[in-house]
Amino acid sequence: LRAGIILLLADDRLSVAQTAEHLATSENTVRKWRDRFAERGIRGLLDLLRPGRPEQYGPEMRLRVLACATSAPPPGASAWTHPLIAAHLAGTGISPDTVGRILTEADLHPHKVRGWLNRLDNEQFWTLAAAVCDLYLRPPTDGVVLSIDEKTGIRAKSRRYPEHAVGPGQAARREFEYVRHGTVSILAAMN
């Protein structure tokens, strides 16, 4: 944003108001960075020192956290978690909370996964799909139609602590921790 302000104002074609509108910011912001740049040059675009505790982890540690979160998780883990990243970087003394703040600042969510399907778009697929849809819409009168699907990789888990039953004026309570027992593959058939 700061560099954009300076570049747009450098041509003298845009006014402060037009620059602010173009960058979706306020005119005061444009004036502030224009004046700082005029006084100090490029150094004027940097943040000023602020009061408070000095930064404990610099850019190198942030890059290590981001590199860890964007790599494949260790064997046995389905995704990186804040505690898992902190444990992986144990020699640095970084906490899971700090890992979480670094990932939030980078807008990185290693636990979220979106899937996609690579399928060749061929005419035979659409012919077969139409036949299956027709079978569901118009099942034979002298037969049974079963839909069978496989659900793979369902985590088999149990709660670590028992659930607290619902009480008057209080909802049931469930502790979030669980114990993993591997995975289950289920075949389901529906009439």
pLDDT per residue as tens digits for the range 72-102: 888 888 888 999 999 999 888 899 999 999 9
Over residues 117-164, the pLDDT tens digits come to 777 778 788 888 899 899 889 988 998 888 888 887 777 888 888 888
What single-letter amino acid sits at 104? T
Whether residue 15 is found in the same domain as residue 63: no
Q: Which of 19-28, 49-58, 138-147 has the lowest mean pLDDT?
A: 49-58
CA distance 186 to 184: 6
Residue 117: inside a domain, yes or no? no
Q: What residue numbers bound the domain in which 67 lies?
A: 59-105
**Residue 176, pLDDT score:** 77
CA distance 15 to 21: 10
**Residue 53, pLDDT score:** 81
Total of domains in the chain: 3
Among 162, 161, 157, 159, which Cα is nearest to 180's? 157
Residue 78: inside a domain, yes or no? yes
What is the pTM assigned to this prediction? 0.44
Residue 52: inside a domain, yes or no? no
Whether residue 96 is found in the same domain as residue 130: no
The more confidently predicted of residues 35 and 181 is 35
Average pLDDT rounded to a whole number, residues 163-170: 74
Average pLDDT rounded to a whole number, residues 25-49: 91
Residue 153: inside a domain, yes or no? yes
**Residue 29, pLDDT score:** 94
Whether residue 63 is found in the same domain as residue 21: no
Residue 112: inside a domain, yes or no? no
Whether residue 147 is found in the same domain as residue 186: yes
Whether the predicted pLDDT of 168 surpasses 80: no
